[in-house]
Chain A
Amino acid sequence: MNVISTQDLSKQFDQFWAVDGVDLDVNPGQVLALLGPNGAGKTTTVRMLTSVLKPTRGTAMIAGYDVVSHPAQVRASVGVLTEQHGLYNRMPADEYLDFFGKLYGLDPHRRITRINDLLENFGLHKDRRKRLGEYSKGMRQKLALARALIHEPPVLLLDEPTSAMDPESARLVRELIQGLRSESRAFIICTHNLAEAEELADQIAIIRHGKIIARGSPSGLKQTLLGSAEYEVRLASALDGKALRLPQGAALSSTDAHMIRYRTEHPDQVNPVILGYLLEEGLKVISLQEVPRSLEQVYLSAINTWREKESQNGC
C-alpha cells in the first residue's frame, strides 16, 4: 500500500494554478525527491499533503487518510521539516521538543524518552538547555528535523532540508536522513539540490509550473531522457588506425588514439565482446567504465523537452 498517494492534486490561487494535476505514489521505505525551481509548486504540494491547504481539485491520501476529510489524522501521521526552521528563539531545545510532543499527544514518559533519544542521536544533548537563538544553523536544522520526528510519523515531508547550509552541516543532515530510512517510513524531499536528490532518492519527480514533467527512478530517468548508458574504454597503447569492431547493440559515440566511447542498452552482453575484440587486436586496456551522467543533465534535459513541447503547443 502507498503511504503517500495523490491523484490529480491541484491548487488554484485566484487565477493561478500553483499545482496542476500532480500524481505521486510513495511506498513505505521509499524516498521521493521533488525537484524544481523556486515557485514550481513544491511547497504548495507539501502544504496540501499536511492538510494546511485544501486542494482545489484531486485527492491525496496520507497513511490511508484523506487530506480533506481527515485533516487531524493526516497531520498526526506526518512530520514536516519546513524550509525555514521556524524555531522559538527564547526556548531551550528540550522545552521546544516537549512542546511539540504535547501537541502531538505524546504521554509524559514517551515524551521524555523521545526527546532524550532524538537529542542524543542528533548530537544536541549537551546543548539541550541552550536557548535556540544561540544555536548554529546546522544545529537549528537538526532540531527542526528532531521536531518533525518527535511523534515517529510514518510520513516525512522535508522541504529544502539542506538549503543555505554549509557543506559539513548539509552532509550531516543527509546522513541523518539516510539513517532514518526504514521499511515503514515514506519520505518526500523537496529540493533544488540535484546531488542531494540523487544521493537520497529512490524516485525523482521534476515539477515545473505546478506540473510533473518527468518522474521515475534516477536510473530510469537517465535512460529515458539521456538515452542508453555510455561506456568508455581507456587504452595503454594507441589505436594507430586499427579497425575498431563493435558488436551489434553498440553504437560508437567518439574515439581518439587512446580512448573509445560507445553506447549500449545491453552492457552485460556488449562489454565482454568489445573487451575480447580489443585484446585480440593486442591492445592493452587500462579501464572500462560507464561515463557518469548526473541528475543535472537529466533535469536540464527534462526542462528542455518540456520547453520544446510548450513551444510546439504554443505554435
Chain B
Amino acid sequence: MDVEMIKAIPANIRKSMTPALIITNREVRDQFRDWRIIFPVAALTLFFPWLMNFTAAQAVNFVQKYGAPIVAERLIPFLLMVVGFFPISVSLVIALESFVGEKERLSIEPLLSSPLEDWQLYMGKLLASMAPPLAASYMGIIVYLIGVYAQVGWTPAPILLLEVVLLTTMQAILMVSGAVVISAQTTSVRAANLLASFIIIPVALLIQGEAIIMFWARYSVLWWVIFGEAMITVMLVRSGVAHFNREELLGRELDVLNIKWGWRVFKSAFIGVARNPIDWYRLEIRRTLQRLWIPLIIVSCLMVAGIWVGTTQAKIFTLPPDILNLNNLDRGFIEGLEAVRFFSVSGIGMVWLHNLRVIALAIALGIFTFGVLGVLILMLPLAVIGYFMANVANVGLSPIMFFTALVLPHGIFEIPALVIVGASILQLGGVLLAPTQNKTVGEAWLFAFADCTKLVLGLVLPLLLVAATIEVLVTPQIAVLLLGS
C-alpha cells in the first residue's frame, strides 16, 4: 500500500459516509422540530440532574448527621451513572421508529429509490437515533457534576468518569443498534414497540448489575462490562448491516409469525435426505458435523482457553492445602457420594438431567447473545477443572493424575458433547451475523436450529448419558484406586 493509497483512505471513508450523514442530519433536525422528543430530552438533561443533585445533597446531609459516609460515597457515583442513562432511554424510542415509522408514513420509498447504498441508509438512521440522546446524556452528566460539586464539593476520579461516559455510550449504541434491527424488520410501530421488550429486559438486567457494581465500588469490573457491551454492540451492528436490504424492508414481516412455514423449514432441514433413522444417523449427523468443522475447532480452542482461565484464577483464589489432601480420598469419599445418590440408577438420571439443564440454558442464552453467553457457560466446567488442577499442582500433587482420576473417565464422553453443543450454539449466533446465500435470516436460523437439534438428539444426549453413567458408577472407583492411600 503506497503513501497515496493511505492518504486516500480517509477521503474515501468521508465520501462514502457523506450520504449516511445527510440522512443523520435530516433526521436530527426533524427530531428537534418535534416537541415530544425535545421535552423529555430537555427535562432529562436539565431537570433530572438537578433532582439527582438534590438527592445527593440530601443523602450527604443525612449520612453526616447519622454517620454512614459510605452511603454517600457510593450513592453519588451511582447517580452519575443514572443521569447518564436516563436520556439515552429516549434513543430507544427514536430508534424503534426509525425505519418502521417511515414505512408507516409511506415516506420510506423515495429514500429507497435514491442512490444510497443499503449500509449508508442503515448507518444514517443508526447515528440519527443515537446522536441527540447521547448529547443530552453527556450534557446531563455535566449538569450533574457541576451541581454536585457546587453542593457537596464532590468530583469523580478521572478514570471513573471515563468509565461512566464509555458505559453510557456503549449502552446507547447497544440499545439503538438492537432497536434499529427491530425497526427494519417490522411492519408497524406497534409491533416494533412490542418487540422492544427484547431490548428493555436485558438492558434493565444489565443496569441492575451495573448498579450492584457501583454500590459495591468495584469500578474495575465496569471495564469488563464495557468490553462485553462493546462486543455485543459490534455483533448487533454487524448483524443489522448484514441483513438490511431494501427488498426486506418493504416485504419482510417479523411481526407475522408463520408457525406452519417455520415447522416446514425446520422439519425438512432436520430430516434432510434420510429415509429412516439409520440413514439419518449415517448421513445427516455426519454431514452436520462436517458443516460445523470451523465452529468445532473454535469451541475446542475455547475449552482449552477455559482451562487456562481456571489455572490463572488459582493464583488469585488459592485453596487451603488441607482441602486438597487427596491422600485420604478413600475415607468417607464413597459414603459421601452414596449419600448424594451416586452408585445408583437414580444418580445417573440426576447427573444426566443436570447436564441437560446446563445445555438447555446454554442454548437459550446463546440464542439471545449471538452464542456468546452460551459458549461461556459451557467453558465454565473446564475453567473449574483448570482451577482445581492448578490448585492441586500448588500443593505438589500431579494435576495429570488428578485429571485422569476425576475427570478423564467420564470426560472422554462429556467434553466432546460440550464441544458439539458449543459449536451448534456458535452457528446459531453466526447465522444472525452474516447472511446466508439464497436463504432469508429466518430460514438460515431455522436450518442452524435444526442442526443444533439433530446433534443434541443424535449425539449429545447419548454421550451425556454414557458420561453420567460412568461419572456415577465408575469415576469414583477409579479416583479411589488412583488417588487413595
Interface set of A (CB-CB < 8 Å, partner B) = 13, 47, 50-54, 72-73, 75-76, 78, 80, 82, 84-88, 90-91, 95, 99-100, 102-105, 144, 147
Contact = CB atoms under 8 A, between A and B. Distances in A.
Interface string B45-76: 00000000000000000000000000000000
Nearest to B246: A52
A99 B247 contact: no
Interface of B: 19, 22-23, 26, 29-30, 33-34, 105-117, 246-247, 250-251
B107 A103 contact: no
Given A52-B250, A54-B247, A91-B30, A104 B115 contact: yes
Given A47-B250, A72-B117, A80-B113, 15 more contacts: A52-B113, A52-B246, A53-B247, A72-B115, A73-B115, A82-B113, A84-B106, A87-B107, A88-B107, A91-B26, A99-B22, A103-B111, A103-B114, A103-B116, A105-B115
B115 A82 contact: no
Contacts of A104: 114-115
28 contacts: A50-B112, A50-B113, A52-B112, A52-B246, A52-B250, A53-B246, A53-B250, A72-B115, A76-B115, A80-B109, A80-B110, A82-B110, A86-B107, A86-B108, A86-B109, A87-B107, A88-B26, A88-B30, A88-B107, A90-B30, A91-B26, A102-B22, A103-B19, A103-B23, A103-B114, A103-B115, A104-B115, A144-B110
A53 B245 CA distance: 10
Nearest to B31: A90
B34 A90 contact: yes
A86 B105 contact: yes
A82 B117 CA distance: 20
Contacts of A95: 29
Contacts of A103: 19, 22-23, 111, 114-116
A54 B248 CA distance: 11
Closest 10 CB pairs of A and B: A86-B107, A84-B106, A90-B33, A80-B113, A76-B115, A75-B115, A103-B114, A50-B113, A82-B109, A86-B106
Nearest to B105: A86
Given A76-B115, A90-B33, A105-B115, A52 B22 contact: no
A50 B107 CA distance: 16
A147 B110 contact: yes
B105 to A, nearest CB: 7
Contacts of A85: 106
A104 B113 CA distance: 10
B247 A82 contact: no
A104 B19 CA distance: 9
A54 B33 CA distance: 36
Contacts of B23: 103
B115 A86 contact: no
Contacts of A100: 110, 114
Contacts of A88: 26, 30, 107
Contacts of A13: 251
A85 B117 CA distance: 22
A102 B23 CA distance: 10
B259 to A, nearest CB: 15
A111 to B, nearest CB: 12
A53 B109 CA distance: 11
B443 to A, nearest CB: 12
A13 B115 CA distance: 24
A90 B117 CA distance: 25
Contacts of B247: 52-54
Contacts of B30: 88, 90-91
A163 to B, nearest CB: 13
A68 to B, nearest CB: 12
A51 to B, nearest CB: 8
Instruction: Specify which of A54, A73, A99 lies most central, judged by the most chain B CB atoms within 10 Å of its CB.
Output: A99
Nearest to B26: A99
Nearest to A101: B22
A80 B112 CA distance: 10
Contacts of A53: 246-247, 250-251
Contacts of A86: 105-110
Nearest to A81: B110
Contacts of A87: 107
Contact of A75 (B22, B29, B114, B250): B114
Nearest to B109: A82
